[in-house]
Structure 1
């Protein structure tokens, strides 16, 4: 396996590392961020959403020690590390800022060979490919794809059910709405923000928001006619996307449920998509590693309109796929 460096140690970066170490996928050759080692180590050791890490964790100048692993820490407050000097093959950018080609290209300019971005690129021109596990990861071309986007948590939560419906019944067009936990882009108290709706306290309001998922989905399926929006709600993690579609083929609710059950049990979506047979609330899917959990009791049909609900832990599920995709790429570059 080629070397992997982690750039950005925030919400996704820390869960990405937890998954990589827990599943023994890889140990990154370095971790980079702009904060001090001791604070970052403490945030990794004890997480509000996912609890305590089972090993001792410490941060000292230039190093994070997790259990018996010593991982070099590189402060990137002033510049991106010299990846060539470090022998880094793949940089996983978890800053949320490498959504333009210039932002991601900066890693290649510093000597990395490939970049995996944990966010949706602004346009298809800003990356070489959008690759999702279970959807199109096998199309990775190491000669052509150097800047790779994983889309967003919502992209992954929608892509799995879309793939199932497309392959079984076809899709004419559709709309989605995602009810999403608040994130660090919002404010805890009322104050002016760049996006006016984000100016109100995240933990006290339902806040309409935009979603880049529709754009990312069209990178994968150019002829897909689906758009949508998001609502941020006062939960710390755990989200749900409702997908309303007009299919090309006639189908029944039972046929749709059966298609999802098959996809969860076998084929490329096994481990990516799962189904819920019983009635649950969002606490059920916190720390679930799947990126799409289809709530079968919420599947409904009215005339030509099919409604499907996909739960996802917007941090943990996405971080699982990100770590798996990083490991996949590192085996093939």
Structure 2
């Protein structure tokens, strides 16, 4: 079993663990956070978005118990755990504070062989590689890649759609907009926040926000000319990105949709099966809550006007991303 430790037990950390246990990908050698065991156990046991865990869950001093599993818990408020002593080869940092090299390096200094960062690094210099399943994960080099970024949920969704378009029709340039469920960076009530737009109640407003997805995509495809922005919307989870592109080759809506259908089929050479799916019918965001794919292309929304192509990609920004994070963590650990 992969020797993986989890640092940060928030929204993504808890879903990451759920996926890992449900799919038999790993059982963590340790979990570290700054909360108390009883509260963290309760949050894992009953999740507002994804329901109740199917086994008893309890927290006691220095331990989380999930079913028959007894997982060591360390309070990291004062220091990062000694990963070497715990036998953790891969540390998955879900704290949101490892976006710089210094923030991730501390895990290596404490004995980890590899750090998987569950968000986009600030710059390419802040990580050794940006690796996404179905895109470039097979380029992992254990000797060179010690700090690996997974980008964001939006990065993973867009990268899948971009890969299909790039390989079939080429891309000159493009813009994207993502309608993304609100997150912990925002406030439930009107109050001053660091980012002024976040000062208004998240459940009552559409709030323009920045997106690090464009930067992360350029880490993977340095010549890619795509940028975009995000809007936080009043939903708990479930997001959609609209990707507007000028392609290098002429294409029709039918040809584009057929390319996405082919990518979603089992056994295709680009390994996107299980990472991408397509929706043939007309749906709203509730359809994709709890869906494990990084990207679900809404085929009826594909449109073409002149040389401008528009594609819509749904994604559960928590569950879909956590599935990829768990799979990538297991992949890295198996190769160290």
Question: TM-score normalised by the shorter chain: which range applies?
Answer: over 0.9
TM-score, with normalisation over the residues of structure 2? Answer: 0.99
Tell me the residue number matched to 2:331: 328
In structure 2, C-alpha distance between the alignment counterparts of 1:38 and 1:88, rounded to whole Å: 24
SS at match of 2:64: strand
The unaligned stretches of length 5 or more in structure 2 are: none
> CA offsets per residue over residues 269-324 of structure 1, 9 Å max, x none?
10000000000000000000001000000000000000000000000000000000
SS at match of 1:194: coil
SS at match of 2:277: strand
> CA offsets per residue over residues 114-143 of structure 1, 9 Å max, x none?
000000000000000000000000000001
Q: Give 1:218-233 correspondences, 5 Å limit.
A: 218-233=218-233
Structure 1 residue ranges (4+ consecutive) displaced by more than 6 angstroms after TM superposition: none
In structure 1, C-alpha distance between the alignment counterparts of 2:86 and 2:49, rounded to whole Å: 33
In structure 2, C-alpha distance between the alignment counterparts of 1:2 and 1:273, rounded to whole Å: 25
Tell me the residue number matched to 2:145: 145
Q: Give 1:1-333 correspondences, 5 Å limit.
A: 1-266=1-266, 267=268, 268-333=271-336
Number of aligned pairs? Answer: 333
In structure 1, C-alpha distance between the alignment counterparts of 2:54 and 2:172, rounded to whole Å: 48
Q: CA deviation at 1:10?
A: 0.1
Contact 2:42–2:57 under 8 Å retained in 1:
yes
> What is the Cα-based RMSD across aligned positions, in Å?
0.5
> CA offsets per residue over residues 6-49 of structure 1, 9 Å max, x none?
00000000000000000011100000100000000000000000
> CA offsets per residue over residues 84-133 of structure 1, 9 Å max, x none?
11121100000111000000001001111100000000000000000000
In structure 2, C-alpha distance between the alignment counterparts of 1:280 and 1:206, rounded to whole Å: 21
In structure 2, C-alpha distance between the alignment counterparts of 1:149 and 1:183, rounded to whole Å: 20
Contact 2:88–2:112 under 8 Å retained in 1:
yes
The unaligned stretches of length 5 or more in structure 1 are: none
